[in-house]
Each structure stands twice: as structure tokens, then as C-alpha cells.
Amino acid sequence: MFCSIEDFKTTFKKRLETKLSKSINDATNNDVYKTLGQLVRENVSKNWIDTTTYYQENKQKQVYYFSMEFLMGRLLQTNIENSGQFLIIKEGLKELGFNLENIFEEEHDAGLGNGGLGRLAACFLDSLASLNLPGHGCGIRYKYGLFEQKIINGYQVELPDYWLQESYVWEVRRPDRAVEVKFGGYVDMVEVDEKLQFHHKNYDTVLAVPYDVPVVGYQNETVNTLRLWSAESCREDFNFFTSNKNDYYHFLQYKRSIEDISGFLYPDDSTYDGKLLRLKQQYFLVSAGIQSIIKQFKAKYSADLLQLPEKIGVHINDTHPVLVIPELMRILLDEEGLSWEDAWRITKRTVSFTNHTTLSEALEKWPVTMVKELLPRIFMIVEEINERYCRELWDLYPYEWNKISALAIIGNGEIRMAHLAIVASYSVNGVAKIHTEILKTKEMKDFYKLYPQKFNNKTNGITHRRWLLNVNPDLASLITETIGNRWIAHPKELTNLIKYSKDTAFQEKVAQVKRMNKEKLARYIKEHNGITVDTNSIFDVQVKRLHAYKRQLLNIFHIIHLYHILSENPNIDITPRTFIFGGKAAPGYHFAKKIIKLINAVATVVNKDPRIQNKLKVVFLENYSVSLAEKIMPAADVSEQISTASKEASGTGNMKFMMNGAITLGTLDGANIEISECVGNDNIFLFGLKAEEVLKLYSEKTYRARDIYNIDFRIKKVLDELMGNHLPGGESEFKDIYYSILSNNDEYFVLKDFDSYCEAHELVDQTYRDQQKWLSMSITNIAHSGKFSSDRTIQQYATEIWGIRPRF
């Protein structure tokens, strides 16, 4: 740690000289970033070692959060703030002629995730460490993270994200902790002393090498670990292959095929894809992770594996890592020699599971043939779990063949990962109240009947340290000036702001902060999109992955409608609006990519039409990512959370906006419902169908989108625009969108909710004119956002699911 500004400056200059052979006068921002990153990482090393040692020596129960995605974003600011060195470093760099904020910009995001699910994992790690809880991440060190999005001529173009190009300052490679993961081959069964033994033969070996990243708690001396696994080929293979000279090229090919296992993140966060490589990735993660946990447990805790559930928790983030179940069984049975009954009891008490979706197309299933070939022993174990479980079902529901086959783990030649997760875990949670209710009463109701005690809700959260303290320092200081700083450790205490919601002096200060944040974002927009936006306009923002159910289409339809009104009647009195979009579409998701093109097409028409007189602006910010989200959230006035009710499990973007004083314009879906319960209906703009109404329309099949098109002239005009020639791209560019609504009957009820959405926007427009009202709403939202801190969520996981305790 640096004890003074002078100490920092001396150390810093010295390091710059020895590592980069540069003097401070020649140093670039990037040099400063690298040097500073190294120093900060080294400074947390002692606490990191001490934390690990403490957990082991006190035999504390530890939890491992397995996730195929960790959307970490940047770490320099968090690590500096959390290690309590912000002022010294900021001041020291200033004296050396550098601006710390510019240095942050040098860091490449660690984009090892697609969206909400991956960002949740990152927020959870921050909360675990900040609450002094023994919980760590276990993931894959993808060589390429989520693609970088460019917008060219209005279209999304994907570029590879080679984030490791300039070595990653936060990681520590640990080759001594490498483990072997085995693929393919066959299983020999031999009977020894009347006991069957399973010998895996003729397999391919992949070396899993861990790279550890410290997870620094907020000013508390706790440093947990995010362990990311990288796939490498084994050295012995080299000798084997090079015994024949011609095989050298085969060897290189083989080596490449192995390294591909941690090669790239699948850029598709919700739909099933039948890729063998994806299955390899999943098994690679779980096998490496579980092997290393068991090794450590035996070395530091106990030789008695029956104790495992008392000391180790394995949590799976959605079903992607569900193979932890058969992998743990395999190790306990084949390597540790336990009986099936003991292994099963241990496994069931160790694993807990979070479900993230109700979209049926996103429920993971793997073909039996694929699993059998790639993971022969794992398949045998899954089959046995299924057989024993089906026998239990038979006892409960004799002769009910249909019911049993519907509930089975294996059926129709596929393994149903969610079923495996429910049967073999002790806890199944949804991520918002409504989502958990839908799981219990609809999606998983038969499982709920079987295991009611397993089901529970844990409403998602976000770390208020990153999403308020770090990204909106002026608002954070204003809050601290007003109610003191206890809210930083106890975010619920933000409710103390409620009594200031109508205080005009406080309102004016909040408005001033928002204005400055909007000016900053406006400069970013000018620089990146070349568009001048009015900072007195309402910044109305929808940023999230592009997906039909998230209904960016509803938003852009409404904008086209506003454009129609204004071009017919340019003097109409509306509050100026800047509509801001951002989000990536999966590269193979044709429909989502068309929506991006449509938003950009509308933007080019609207932004340059003189009749509009700058009352409307449309901006699509490219490459939505954590670091971009950090620039957007503090500047938003309106948070668009407009998914078709019942489809968005929770959402976390909604919470980030709320915490920064934006007001939600949303449907009663996911955590929007809990947000509305906290702030009250006067402090949120709600519209649209409710979840029950949506589900009823689906089951009764009474919805006719074309009827609405025929009756509502506004909608007809909007849709006809898609087939006309006003929009760049011409007549056939948007026909797929047009037909998805009219021929495919508008699966997500865009037309059905259109009228109600327009009314809600009308109310936004009117309310914004009354700034006192608006600011009181905004402050009320900030005041209630503490409930949505991931500290609350993690506290609940810790006590209600994992049974772990803080070290201090």
C-alpha cells in the first residue's frame, strides 16, 4: 500500500523505469495504465494470500460460483476504490501530469459474458468479497470475449475481441495447479472383489491451466478469487507426435483443436445451439473446477469426503455448468471409491442451481449420442441417475407413463439439463418474485410438486459500488453530503433520501448532477456518432441485448409514430426527446439484426429532417458493453424496460438506471414489479399487458395482430412505412419485420401494447414539464434502489441457500 502521495510517486516512477524503461516524461496513458495496474495488483497480494489462508485454516465453508460467463468489464477503478487508495493515486498521478479518469479508459473490458447473466456473476463476486464472504468464481478464460460491434451503414458488423493481446494485468497464471480433463475414449468395466470398477481408456487429455484474478472487497482486507481456466495441450503429446516427423503438422492441428476449447465465448445468450465445442467447453469448466476443489478439500480440510457438503458449496449459474453433478459423482465413485448412495447424498447436498429463463427455446438439451461419444463415463452416470429417479417417480405415479417420461432427465434422445439440475441439487431459485412464481405454477410446476422445499426466490441485484459510487461520483458525494456515508456499507439506508424528495434545494443539486452527466454523454455521442443532442431534451434510453421479447421494436415503432405526428404538424408542443439505443444482436439472429438496421434507418431520416426542428433525435451507440453502460446510466432520464410481460426473468439494467435516478417506463415484468412496489405507482410509468393476460392470450389463441393493424390508423401508417421507400434500404429491407407482425401474428404483442405505450409516453412528456414533480420521482427512485444492491441478494444466498458466514 502507498502511505502517501510522495511514496506513490516515487514507487510509480521507479516501476515505470524498471519495467518499461521509460521516464515519466515519455510515458503514454497506456504505459501508466499497465504500470499502475501491476502496482495495484501487487498491493492486494498480501490480503489475497491472507484471505485464502484464513478460510483454509479456519476450515470455513466456501462457495464456488460456476458460470460460463463473467462479464467483468474494467477492474482498475474498482480495485483502486476498493483498496482505499483512490485519493492518493488520483492526486499522485495529477502531480505527475496524468488524469486518472483517462487512465481508466486504457483498460480493455474483460467481456467474458453476453449480458445480464454474466454481469450478475460479476456483481455477485464484488458483493461476496465486500461482505467478507468466502465465495469465489469459476469460469473460462476465453481467448476471445464477446465480439466487438461496429455499425457500418446501419448494419451490425462483428469483430473479434482479442482482449488478451496486451497481457491482462489482473491475472496470475498458476501452472502448478493445472489439472487434466479427459474427452472421448471408452469405459472398461472390471469386477474387483465383487465391486464394479470403471476404467476410462483411450481418451484425449486436455490440460486445464488456471489463471487467478483477485476479487477485492470494498475497503475490508478480503480478497477472493476468480479462477479462469485455459485449455492447453499436454507436453507428453508432443513427444508422442514428433516421433514421426510428418506428424508435426498433425500435432499443430491437434494443439489448435485443444486450445479452441477456451477459444471463444458463444455470442448467443439464449437459444439452443447444437455445437459440440460448446459441450466441450462446459465439461472442461466443470471438470477442471470440481477436480481442483476436491484436491484442495482433501489437502486442507479433510480426507473424509462425507464432510464435503458442510465445507463446500457449488452453485451453478443457469444450466450451462450442470455437468458438475455427474462430474462430482464420477470423482466420488471412480476416484474416491465411494458407494453410489454416499456419492449421491454428497452431491445432492453440495449443488445449488439458479434458473434464469422461462423461454422454452433457451432450456438446454443435449443429444444423447453426442454426450455418449464425448463423455462416455459421464453419460453412464447421468443414465443411472435418470434410472434411479424414474423408479422413484414410478413409486409415486405408478402407470403414469406420460407423466414420468415428461419429468425424466433423458427423453426423446436428449438430456434435459434443467431436469438434471433440479433433481440433483438442494436448492432451485428464480431471479425475481414473478419469475419464481411462474416457475412454481407453470414452467416447473410438476417439479415444484415433487420438491416444494427446493424452490425459492432470490431477486437479482447489482453492486451499488460500481453502479453508483464509481460511475456517478457527483451523485454519490451529493448523497453522502445529505445523509452521511452509511449508505455505502448499508445501501438500504438510501431510503433516508426520501425525506428530501420534495426539498427544492436538494432537487436542484440532483438536477445539476444529471445535467452535467448528460452533457458528458452528449459529448460522447457527438464524438462517436457525430450527432448533436439537446441536453435539455429527455434522454430516453433502451440499452440491452437485442431480442424480440425485449421489444426494441415497440420503442422504434413509437418513434416512427412520433415522427409522423411531427412531420405533419411541426409546431405541435412536445417535450424534446433524445432516444438512445445500444445493444448487440447474436451474429446468427437475423431478426434482431434487422431491428438494429431499422433503428439506424429511422435515425438517419429523423435526425436530418428540418421539419422536426431537433425535437427528436435517435442515437444508436455501438458496442454496448459494461464500460459503455457506465457512461450511459448516470445520464439517463427514462429507463425503457418494455419486455412482453412474463418474458424477462428479472432484468438488472432496470436497477442500474433506477439507482442513477432514471425513471422506469416499463411493463409489469421481472424486477420491474418489485421496483414499482418499492417506489409506488406514482413514481414509475407502467403500461401494457400483465403477465397473466399474456399467458391467457397464448393459451386461448385469440390474439389477431392484423385486426389491430386494420383498426388503428397510427399503427397501419407505422407498419406501412416498413414496406415503403422513405427509409434507407428500400422496400425489401424490413419486410421480415413487417411479416413477423402481420403474418406471424406478432408473437410478443407489440401491436397489442402499442396504444398503452403511447399513452405512457404522453404522460412522460407531461410530467417532465413539471421539473419538481420529475425530480421528486427521480429522488424517490434513488432512495429505494438500495434494495436492489447485490449485497442484499448475496446476503440472502449466503444465509438461505449456502450457509456461509463472513470472516469478520
Nearest-approach distance from CB 432 to ligand PLP, in angstroms? 11
In the shown chain, the binding pattern of residues 572 to 611 toward ligand PLP, with x for contact by CB under 6 A and - for none, equals ----------------------------------------
Catalytic, 356? Answer yes
How many residues bind to ligand PLP according to rule CB under 6 A?
Answer: 13
In the list 652, 683, 778, 789, the residue contacting ligand PLP (rule: CB under 6 A) is 652
In whole angstroms, what is the distance from residue 667 CA to residue 691 CA? 9
Nearest-approach distance from CB 653 to ligand PLP, in angstroms? 2
In whole angstroms, what is the distance from residue 201 CA to residue 584 CA? 43
In whole angstroms, what is the distance from residue 433 CA to residue 793 CA? 13
In whole angstroms, what is the distance from residue 469 CA to residue 477 CA? 8
Name residues contacting ligand PLP, limited to 654-673 (CB under 6 A).
656
Please say which residue, 5 or 592, places its beta carbon nearer to ligand PLP: 592
Please say which residue, 356 or 561, places its beta carbon nearer to ligand PLP: 356
Name residues contacting ligand PLP, limited to 614-633 (CB under 6 A).
624-626, 629
CB atoms within 10 A of CB 36: 27
**Are 319 and 301 spatial neighbours (Cβ–Cβ below 8 Å)?**
no
Among the candidate windows 358-366, 645-653, 684-692, 695-703, which touches ligand PLP by CB under 6 A?
A: 645-653
In whole angstroms, what is the distance from residue 577 CA to residue 520 CA? 17
In whole angstroms, what is the distance from residue 505 CA to residue 511 CA? 10
Please say which residue, 624 or 774, places its beta carbon nearer to ligand PLP: 624
In the list 139, 154, 321, 651, the residue contacting ligand PLP (rule: CB under 6 A) is 651
Give the H or E element holding residue 186: strand 186-192
Catalytically annotated residue among 466, 545, 593, 647: 545
Please say which residue, 438 or 629, places its beta carbon nearer to ligand PLP: 629
Please say which residue, 270 or 756, places its beta carbon nearer to ligand PLP: 270
**Are 204 and 183 spatial neighbours (Cβ–Cβ below 8 Å)?**
yes
In whole angstroms, what is the distance from residue 452 CA to residue 228 CA? 35
Nearest-approach distance from CB 435 to ligand PLP, in angstroms? 13
Catalytic, 200? Answer no
In whole angstroms, what is the distance from residue 353 CA to residue 345 CA? 16
Nearest to 178 by CA among 129, 228, 104, 137: 228
Catalytic, 550? Answer yes
Nearest-approach distance from CB 550 to ligand PLP, in angstroms? 7
Please say which residue, 205 or 270, places its beta carbon nearer to ligand PLP: 270
Nearest-approach distance from CB 356 to ligand PLP, in angstroms? 11
Catalytically annotated residue among 464, 544, 761, 784: 544
In whole angstroms, what is the distance from residue 543 CA to residue 463 CA? 18
**Are 793 and 127 spatial neighbours (Cβ–Cβ below 8 Å)?**
yes
Catalytically annotated residue among 463, 652, 667, 793: 652
**Are 195 and 141 spatial neighbours (Cβ–Cβ below 8 Å)?**
no
Q: Residue 359 has which C-alpha cell?
A: 423461454
In whole angstroms, what is the distance from residue 788 CA to residue 80 CA? 24
**Are 779 and 288 spatial neighbours (Cβ–Cβ below 8 Å)?**
no
Q: Is 43 in the site for ligand PLP (CB under 6 A)?
A: no
Per the rule left: phi > 0, alpha: psi between -120 and 50, beta: everything else, 444 is alpha
Nearest-approach distance from CB 69 to ligand PLP, in angstroms? 11
Name residues contacting ligand PLP, limited to 683-742 (CB under 6 A).
none
**Are 406 and 445 spatial neighbours (Cβ–Cβ below 8 Å)?**
no
Name residues contacting ligand PLP, limited to 101-130 (CB under 6 A).
115-116, 119
Please say which residue, 652 or 780, places its beta carbon nearer to ligand PLP: 652
Catalytically annotated residue among 330, 656, 752, 761: 656
Catalytic, 436? Answer no
In the shown chain, the binding pattern of residues 507 to 546 toward ligand PLP, with x for contact by CB under 6 A and - for none, equals -------------------------------------xx-
The residue whose Cβ lies closest to ligand PLP is: 653
- CA 775 to chain CA mean position, Å: 30
Per the rule left: phi > 0, alpha: psi between -120 and 50, beta: everything else, 361 is alpha
In the list 37, 92, 653, 729, the residue contacting ligand PLP (rule: CB under 6 A) is 653
Nearest to 62 by CA among 225, 220, 291, 282: 225
The alpha carbon dihedral of 359, 362, 367, 368 has a sign of negative
Catalytically annotated residue among 143, 280, 330, 356: 356
Beta bridge partners of 351: 314
* Interface residues toward ligand PLP, by CB under 6 A: 115-116, 119, 544-545, 624-626, 629, 651-653, 656
Give catalytic residues, as residue numbers. Answer: 356, 544-545, 550, 652, 656
